[in-house]
């Protein structure tokens, strides 16, 4: 490929990718705020500890999505991310993947359990972007930590990621 053709291709590709990144919300800022919450998160979920790209984890995600889509359990898909368990060198994570419910009496599917998390105050990160262009988890955790320090708060060692829709993720970091 000639240099002129390569430059022409790049001249089209770079603006196109920039527009796509903008359209997906890649330039949107993460909004951080300290919030008072109702006191309890009730989650029907399944725990997972292992590699973040494990087939077993994918199966749990698929099961949770089906439970919501089929209307068996009404709620919001969530991941409890135990922030102190991530090992970036071997890709090990510890999650609970489930559904945030509103204390209604749901039948708990086999292999799932009810997890109740008490919290009165959280640092909330709201991200309005497609998940393809969302910031890295470490960057979000760092921003939440800064917000907590500004308000003389200490974050717990876990976060609750609420997947409200394809373009909105709300992450609550309960404080101690």
61: confidence class by pLDDT, cuts 50, 70, 90? very high
Q: Are 39 and 117 in contact (CB under 8 A)?
A: no
Q: Residue 5: phi, psi to the nearest 5?
A: -65, -40
* 135-144: long-range contacts, CB 8 A cutoff, minimum separation 24: 135/30, 137/81, 137/86, 140/30, 140/171, 141/83, 141/173, 143/30, 143/32, 144/32, 144/171, 144/173
pLDDT in tens, 144-175: 999 999 999 999 999 999 998 877 889 999 99
Q: What is the arithmetic mean of pLDDT over 116-133?
A: 83
pLDDT in tens, 31-47: 899 998 877 899 999 99
Q: What is the arithmetic mean of pLDDT over 57-79?
A: 93
DSSP three-state, residue 108: coil
pLDDT at 161: 93
Q: Going from the N-terminus, what domains does the chain have, and what CATH number goes with each?
A: 31-174 (3.20.80.10)
């Amino acid at each position: 490929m000639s240099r002129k053709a390569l430059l022409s291709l790049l001249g089209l590709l770079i603006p196109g990718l920039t527009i796509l990144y903008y359209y997906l919300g890649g330039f949107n800022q993460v909004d951080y705020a300290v919030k008072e919450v109702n006191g309890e998160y009730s989650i029907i979920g399944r725990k997972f500890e292992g590699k973040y790209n494990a087939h077993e984890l994918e199966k749990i995600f698929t099961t949770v999505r089906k439970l919501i889509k089929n209307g068996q359990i009404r709620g919001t898909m969530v991941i409890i991310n135990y922030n102190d368990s991530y090992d970036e060198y071997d890709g090990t994570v510890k999650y609970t993947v489930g559904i945030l419910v509103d204390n209604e009496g749901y039948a708990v599917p086999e292999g799932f359990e009810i997890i109740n998390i008490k919290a009165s105050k959280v640092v909330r990160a709201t991200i309005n972007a497609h998940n393809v262009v969302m910031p890295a988890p470490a960057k979000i955790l760092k921003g939440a930590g800064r917000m907590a320090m500004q308000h003389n708060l200490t974050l717990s060692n876990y976060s609750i990621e609420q997947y409200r829709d394809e373009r909105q993720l709300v992450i609550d970091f309960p404080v101690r």
